Structure 1
Amino acid sequence: MTYDATGRLLLTPVDKEGPERARRLLRLDLGRRPEAAFDLFADRLAEVAGAPFAGVNFIDGDRQFFAGLHTPDGVRPSAASRSVARDHGYCPHVVARRKALVLDDVRDYPRFAGNPVVDETGTRSYLGAPLLDDRTGLALGTVCVVDTEPRLWGRSGLATIKAMAGELMHIVRGRGDPTGKFSRAHPS
């Protein structure tokens, strides 16, 4: 957990499902390397949202890994530079909340304004939705878009990011356990 300088404001949410999520991601072979299909998905997400950055992010107990990434210059970072600490960015909040997160201007929210990505990458606005595994009930990660300028994402942005998360989960559902033998009663 990361707290602000006063020690009162929790900046990174507690993640009780991290170990279980890490096992599920391992079983699905997700979040360990970049994947062309996820890069292409991130490209399309950036185009649909009109955002300079987009990602397909899987979060285990300790870190985040962008298996799909779109950047404004089109350069795909190496696998090593796609992994970030769990306390960087806003995706861990989406996973903990299990709901989409809309930040038109991150500086308007004390909990989020001090996040390292604000200064390191110039993030000013964020829109993300969880990738919910219907077999286990876990939030495996997120799809997200980021802008370096404040953005009014609005209801259409929220609807778009949720729809894109659902679309990506159709791709993920076919991985790992095609028999469907793993269910909520027997999380993997």
Structure 2
Amino acid sequence: MALPTSAHEGPGLSLSNPEQTPWSETERLAALRAYDILDTDPEAAFDDIVALIARVCDAPIAVVNLIDAGRQWFKAEVGLGVRETPLDTSFCAHALLQQDGMVVPDATRDARFACNPLVTGDSHLRFYAGSLLKTAEGLPIGTLCVLDTEPRLQGLTDLQQQALETLARQVMTQLELRRALRLASQSQDAAGRAIAASNYIGVYDWDITNDRVVADARFAEMYGVDPAKAARGAPIVEFFGAIHADDIAATQAAIDVAMRTLGEFEAEYRIVVGDRERWLLATGQVYPDASGAPAQFAGVAVDITARKTVELELAQTVAALKQSEAGFRALADAMPQMVWS
């Protein structure tokens, strides 16, 4: 489906005019800045996209362009050699007023751009095609665009336009995943600080010979054991029974190694008490009796549920990023063959 090529009469562009847009400029700028992308260093994921779309469209200029207040800033570019330009000469700012993007076959014949310094000056721009970069809420934050110094009265081919729209969506995927990774990292740092400051640490002391675990109230509550009973001493099985079925074997193996070597113990595992599942990090040390046999096993357990949740979310985000990049690589490998075949 072709992008619109109809020209608006006159240069009266206003990104904050409610009659021209269903969104406010305040909302749009807030959405852009939520990605924390402005004024960041070049990144290969975006550089690859502009290189590919420039080749597919046989265009000397291609840009990932983000429309900020008073300027357009380029996350990636081919053929420009600058990172930003003033907004008053921007083609892409006009594209934001369209539903999906914009094509300008010949800028000298378009009332919006005929007097634009980029058209009348040394840049000699004639052709423009841009596909919007839209958030999930439909807010346009910029474009993926190609430009040429020669007019193209027929616009882009169907394949070129499909590539432009597809790669614009890929830009948004990269922005979303980049933001997700940043937020996950921040959450992980916050979770680490919370754990470090937390009192949710339980202490235990297992008398191996008599099979009695004496624990404080926090440790007992973690495992769903009556604190009064834990204070007197309870068999290890009463605590062990709360460990998630999928984690029992690995936890038991770690205990066996500590017992056999009279060494340190460390294990991460889930605890299920009622309908509540928590992650614990348990550490300890085995001490021998006079004969050298394991007699005492003492240590602490820390609730690390917050940390594990962040780790899982981060792992899922990284997996999604790898899948997205794999899809882009496949498209990048196939697209030139499709264009030139």
Which whole-Å deviations, capped at 9, do the CAs of 1:73-124 have from their partners, x for residues lacking one? xxx73xxx32111121310011122322111111121222112211341101
Q: Which amino acid is the alignment partner of residue 13 of structure 1? A: L
- Measure the CA separation in 1 of the matches of 2:149 and 2:66: 22
**1:61 maps onto 2:69 in alignment:** yes
Q: Which runs of 5+ in 1 are unaligned?
A: 1-8, 180-188
2:59 equivalent among 51, 55, 58? 51
What SS does the aligned partner of 1:113 have? coil
What SS does the aligned partner of 1:137 have? coil
User: What is the match of residue 124 of structure 2?
Assistant: 122
Which whole-Å deviations, capped at 9, do the CAs of 1:31-61 have from their partners, x for residues lacking one? 3234223222211110111100000000122
1:24 equivalent among 8, 31, 41? 31
Compute the RMSD of aligned alpha carbons. 2.2
User: What is the match of residue 6 of structure 1?
Assistant: none
Q: Which amino acid is the alignment partner of residue 103 of structure 1? A: V
Q: How many residues align?
A: 164
Are the counterparts in 2 of residues 34 and 68 from structure 1 also a CA contact under 8 Å? no
What is the CA distance between 1:10 and its match in structure 2? 4.1
What is the CA distance between 1:127 and its match in structure 2? 0.6
What is the CA distance between 1:167 and its match in structure 2? 2.0
Moved more, 52-61 or 19-28: 19-28
- Measure the CA separation in 2 of the matches of 1:19 and 1:62: 13
Are the counterparts in 2 of residues 19 and 61 from structure 1 also a CA contact under 8 Å? no
User: What is the match of residue 111 of structure 1?
Assistant: 112
Structure number with larger C-alpha Rg: 2
- CA, structure 1 residues 154+27, in 2 after alignment: closer, same or farther (shift >3 Å)? closer
Q: Which amino acid is the alignment partner of residue 53 of structure 2? A: L
User: What is the match of residue 15 of structure 2?
Assistant: 15
1:156-175 equivalence runs, <5 A? 156=158, 157-175=160-178
User: What is the match of residue 5 of structure 1?
Assistant: none
What is the CA distance between 1:150 and its match in structure 2? 1.0
- Measure the CA separation in 2 of the matches of 1:172 and 1:112: 30
Moved more, 9-18 or 105-114: 9-18
Q: RCO greater where, 1 or 2, for CA within 8 Å and sep 6 or more?
A: 1
What is the CA distance between 1:177 and its match in structure 2? 4.4
Are the counterparts in 1 of residues 65 and 143 from structure 2 also a CA contact under 8 Å? yes
Are the counterparts in 1 of residues 72 and 90 from structure 2 also a CA contact under 8 Å? no
What SS does the aligned partner of 1:87 have? helix
- Measure the CA separation in 2 of the matches of 1:28 and 1:18: 16
What SS does the aligned partner of 1:110 have? coil
Structure 1 length-normalised TM: 0.77
What is the CA distance between 1:23 and its match in structure 2? 2.3
More strand by share: 2
Q: Which runs of 5+ in 2 are unaligned?
A: 1-8, 17-23, 184-341
User: What is the match of residue 176 of structure 1?
Assistant: 179
